[in-house]
């Protein structure tokens, strides 16, 4: 099985703990991602290993996303499956003195014939991720302690 991946990075002028808390909670995509149509946390309690989310973006149907690794305030990994591919996302936050270095790694593991379009899907995701990092950075730098925002749902 072929694997395709990418890594994007940015510096965010906010406390690393705030960056980790904001970015590791998938519900916050509704705050910054204009393509996020619905995100719902399916479990009670704080985000951690085993937490599941139901999400839908403009280019997907419903997707279940599960946190499979969680090491605050440094790193987390989620797993989901969509359109014939397993998708792993790994977020990492490190302190850079006066801010946080945030990196986002996406790994696509296509199954069956999905390997034919996986490179195109990855290219689209890579292009979106540059915008996503900019939007996360702008959101956190404009309001370091981002409060509850009403969720959007379609």
Average pLDDT in the 50-62 region? Answer: 91
- Range of lowest pLDDT (17-21, 44-48, 148-152): 148-152
Query: Which ranges constitute the DSSP H helices of the chain?
Result: 16-24, 29-32, 118-142
Question: Order of strands across the sheet with 36-41?
Answer: 4-12, 100-110, 85-95, 75-82, 63-71, 52-57, 36-41
- The predicted pLDDT at position 151 comes to 44
Express each pLDDT in 87-139 by its tens digit.
899 999 999 988 999 999 988 887 777 666 667 776 777 777 778 899 999 99
* Higher-confidence position of 127 and 10: 10
- The predicted pLDDT at position 30 comes to 95
pTM here is 0.84
Q: What is the dihedral of CA 104, 133, 31, 121, to 10 degrees?
A: -70
- The predicted pLDDT at position 82 comes to 76
Residue 58 has pLDDT above 60, yes or no: yes
Would you state the structure tokens that stand for residue 27, as one six-digit string?
């519900």
CA dist 10 → 20, 52, 131 (Å) = 13, 26, 11
- The predicted pLDDT at position 96 comes to 95
Share above pLDDT 90 across residues of the chain, in percent, rounded to a whole number: 58
Would you state the structure tokens that stand for residue 16, as one six-digit string?
């690393």
Average pLDDT in the 65-87 region? Answer: 92
């Amino acid at each position: 099985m072929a694997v395709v991946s990418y890594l994007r990075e940015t510096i965010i002028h906010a406390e690393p703990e705030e960056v980790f808390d904001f970015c590791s909670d998938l519900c916050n995509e509704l705050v910054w991602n204009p393509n996020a149509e619905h995100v719902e946390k399916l479990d009670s309690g704080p985000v951690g290993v085993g937490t599941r989310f139901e999400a839908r973006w403009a280019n997907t149907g419903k997707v279940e996303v599960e946190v499979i690794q969680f090491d605050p305030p440094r790193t987390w990994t989620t797993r989901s499956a969509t359109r014939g591919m397993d998708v792993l996302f790994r977020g990492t936050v490190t302190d850079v003195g006066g801010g946080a270095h945030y990196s986002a790694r996406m790994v696509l593991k296509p199954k069956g014939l999905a390997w034919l379009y996986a490179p195109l899907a990855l290219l689209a995701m890579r292009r979106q991720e540059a915008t996503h990092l900019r939007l996360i950075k702008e959101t956190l730098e404009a309001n370091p302690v981002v409060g509850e925002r009403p969720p959007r749902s379609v």
